[in-house]
Every structure is written in structure tokens, then in C-alpha cells.
Amino acid sequence: MNFTANAWVRTEAAFAAIRETEFITELADGSLDRPTFEHYLVQDAHFIAGLDRALAIAAAKMPRRPTLVQFTDAAAKVMNAEHALQGHVFRHWAIDSNTFAQTPIAPACTHYVSFIIAAADAESNEVLMATILPSLWLYAELGRDLGRRPVADNPYQVWIDTYSSPLYQSSIAEMLAAVDAAAARASDPVREEMMASYLAAVQIECAFWDAAFRQQPLAVIRRRSA
């Protein structure tokens, strides 16, 4: 079993718990209230800014090995889609730069950003890729799921369209392939570090979504290897 297949088995329950939150079910049917979505979106924008910084640190300090190049190039396509989505929604709902800047970053978001930046600063290419992966992979899974069951006149359809788009899906597939290639060449200790950091990132991802809209525990992760 390759790295990402094993990672999926060990965290599928956590991803499923996020898919089943009231936030996602209401976003899917269009009934989610606007303040809840705006709060989530601003926190996500703060997170994306932190992820931009982490990728910049990695590019500046780490050797540009083929797997890292493949991963960061695919991540750049994903980030462009994220920025375009945020810009569209911010303009549509008149969320200006002052509102964004004056909105405090939630503790869960601060924790997540700090965790990823620390990995960019101190960890290997392989561990960094595994650390970043959950924050983007989850959205591809949500997009694919919600894209299969569209609802007419959903005010959040642009969010669903972004993450279900062929570009986003293919970019995530490239990232998964890069992580698998890196893990295949890594030593056993490095692969263990990759999995540990991946699992920790999924835990923090769950906490981020909790803080955004639910405030209930979601982290359900298999600790033993499949």
C-alpha cells in the first residue's frame, strides 16, 4: 500500500466527520447562513496566507528536488484557485481589506498556520509535503462529493465549483503522486515522520473546522497502520 492510500485509510473517518457537519450539509443545500460562511471564509483566507508563506520558505531553503517541484507546482495551481475564489466572494459580499485585517485570527487557525510554517522551516521536503497535504486534499474530496449533487440557485455554488473543477482535482492528484514518489524513496524513519506529521495535520484540520462553525469534536483517526 502506498503512502497516500495508507494515509487515507487512517484518516477517512476524520474526513467523513467533516463532510457530515452541519456547515457542509447546509452549504451543500444552500441553507447555510451568510455570517457563518463569512466567518469561515475569513479564517480560511488567513490560513491560505500562512500556507503561502510556508511554501515560500520551503522554496527558498530546500533543494529543488523533482518531487518537491512537482508538489509545489501543483500546489501553486491550487492556491491560485483558492485566491480567485476568495477574491470573488469577498467582492460579491463586500468583504473589504479592512474587514479582513481587523478580523482576529482564531486560535485554531493560528495553531494550524504555526504548525505548517514550523514544518517548512525545520523539516525535510518529504515531511513538509505530508504536513501540507491534508489541508488541500480534503477540499478536493468535498468538492467531488458536493459536485455530484448540485442544488439549483445555491448561493455557495462557486465554492463547490472551485473544488470540484477538473483543474483543482488534477492538481491534487499531482500532489498525491508527488507525496507517494517521495515516500517511496524515503527511509523507513522518514516515512514514519511523514505519517506522524500528516496525522497531526489532520487533527488540526478537524480543530480548524470545529472552530469555524461547529465547536464539537471531529477527530477520528486510526492510529495503527493498515
Percent of the chain with pLDDT over 70: 92
Task: Give me the residue spans of the domains in the chain.
Answer: 3-214
Q: Look at the domain 3-214 and name its fold.
A: Heme Oxygenase; Chain A (1.20.910)
Residues contacting residue 20 through CB under 8 Å, at least 6 positions apart: none
CA distance 39 to 36: 5
CA distance 97 to 101: 6
CA distance 88 to 91: 5
126-145 pLDDT, tens digit each: 999 999 999 999 999 999 99
Locus of grid cell 487512517: 10
152-177 pLDDT, tens digit each: 999 999 999 999 999 999 999 999 99
CA distance 169 to 215: 29
CA distance 47 to 54: 11
Question: Helix or strand or coil: residue 170?
Answer: helix
DSSP assignment of 179-209: HHHHHHHS-HHHHHHHHHHHHHHHHHHHHHH
Locus of grid cell 488534477: 170
31-85 pLDDT, tens digit each: 998 888 888 888 888 899 999 888 888 777 666 678 888 888 898 899 888 888 8
pLDDT at 62: 61
